[in-house]
Amino acid sequence: MRHVHAARLRVVWDTNVYVSALQFEGEAGAKAWRAALDQRFRLIISPPILNELGRVLRDDFGWKDPRLSDRLRMISKLAQIVVPRTQIAAVRDDPDDDRILECAVAGKADLIVSGDKHLRRLKIFEGIPIVTVMDLLRMLD
């Protein structure tokens, strides 16, 4: 990864990182969320990731409106929203993970943060490292 000042670091989070950040207070994801709110790095997100996040929080964690709408709106205001123009098919075992890669490429991300084994197995995609939340937190310290 090229050297980038942390505040200029462009980061794409996998849906599982958002879930960890929003659902499980006191864990690494919540610390990363606070760092995002403090603008210690720039979150990049795409409409497909926002849609998946809304579905997961509603269906898997029982989130109801207005909490769900409020949180998605907050993320939309905090993050830069990019619309990927290129489809990627790099994760055969879990094609939904390709949406994360598409967002990272379209948003010229410096980093992808994920807890997903399929993405993490790639280690790097088109020059963009794929790391854990703990790795991100260490970079910010």
pLDDT band of residue 2 (cuts 50, 70, 90) is very low
Range of the domain at 33: 6-140
33 in a structural domain: yes
* Most confident residue range from 21-25, 60-64, 87-91: 60-64
48 in a structural domain: yes
Are β-strands 128-131 and 124-125 bridged in parallel, bridged antiparallel, or unpaired? Answer: antiparallel
- The string of DSSP codes covering 69-81 is HHHHHHHHHHSEE
128 in a structural domain: yes
38 in a structural domain: yes
**pTM beyond cutoff 0.85:** yes
Give the CA angle between residues 26, 121, 50 to the nearest 5°.
Answer: 55
* Percentage of residues in the chain having pLDDT higher than 70: 95
Q: Which domain CATH number covers 99?
A: 3.40.50.1010
Give the tens place of pLDDT for each residue, 91-116.
888 778 899 999 999 999 999 999 99
25 in a structural domain: yes
pLDDT at position 24, please?
86
1 in a structural domain: no
Number of structural domains in the chain: 1
127 in a structural domain: yes
